[in-house]
Amino acid sequence: MTGERPPVPPVPPERHVPPVPLESRLGYLLKHAQQRLARASAAALAPLGIDGHELAVLAVLAAEYPLSQVEVAGRLGVDRTTMVALVDGLEDQGLVERRRSPADRRKNIVELTPEGRDCLGRAERARLAMERRFLDPLDEETAAALVRALRILVVEERRIAE
C-alpha cells in the first residue's frame, strides 16, 4: 500500500448541476432581507435608546398583563438569562418595573411604567415608518401579500412546534 488515493473520476456532463444564482435562493433572500430590516430597525429605534429586542418586551407587556419574566421570555422565545438582561436594561431606563408576584414570591411580575408606555408609542410609530420605507419598493398589494405570507409561515412553524 503506497498511501496514494485513486484518482477521482470526473463528473459526467449529464450529472453536472449548474450553479444556481444566490439571488434565486429563498434562504439567501430571507437572510439578507432580515439583515437590512434589522439595520433599519436599529437606526429607527436608536434615538429612543432602545433596540428591537427591548421594543418586543415592551410590546408584549402592553398586550398582556400581568406577566412574569419567564412568561415574557416564553412569548419572545428567549432564554431566561437573556430576559433578565433585557428587563435589567429596561428597568435601568425607567421603562419597566419588577415586583414580586403576590401569588408566588418566586416570580417577578414585570409591568410597563408610564415612561415605558410613552416610549412604546414613539417606538411603534418609528417602527411603522421604517417598515413603510423598507417595503416602499413594492406596490401596496405586493407588500401586503409578503406580510401575509410571512405571517402564515411563522404561525405555521409555531403550530408545528407545539
Please report the pLDDT score of residue 3 as a whole number: 66
Assigned C-alpha cell, 160: 408545528
Span 98-136, pLDDT tens digits: 999 888 888 889 999 999 999 999 999 999 999 999 999
Assigned C-alpha cell, 18: 449548474
Please report the pLDDT score of residue 103 as a whole number: 84
Please report the pLDDT score of residue 31 as a whole number: 96
- CA atoms of 9 and 144, how far apart (whole Å): 51
Please report the pLDDT score of residue 20 as a whole number: 75
Give me the residue spans of the domains in the chain: 39-135
Please report the pLDDT score of residue 118 as a whole number: 98
Q: Any bridge partners for residue 99, and if so which?
A: 109
Determine the angle formed by the axes of helices 69-76 and 80-92, rounding to 10 degrees: 110
Q: Are 24 and 31 in contact (CB under 8 A)?
A: no
Assigned C-alpha cell, 58: 415592551
Q: Strand, coil or helix: what is 99?
A: strand
Read off the pTM: 0.78
Please report the pLDDT score of residue 162 as a whole number: 59
- Regions of the chain short of the pLDDT cut 50: none
CATH no. for 39-135: 1.10.10.10
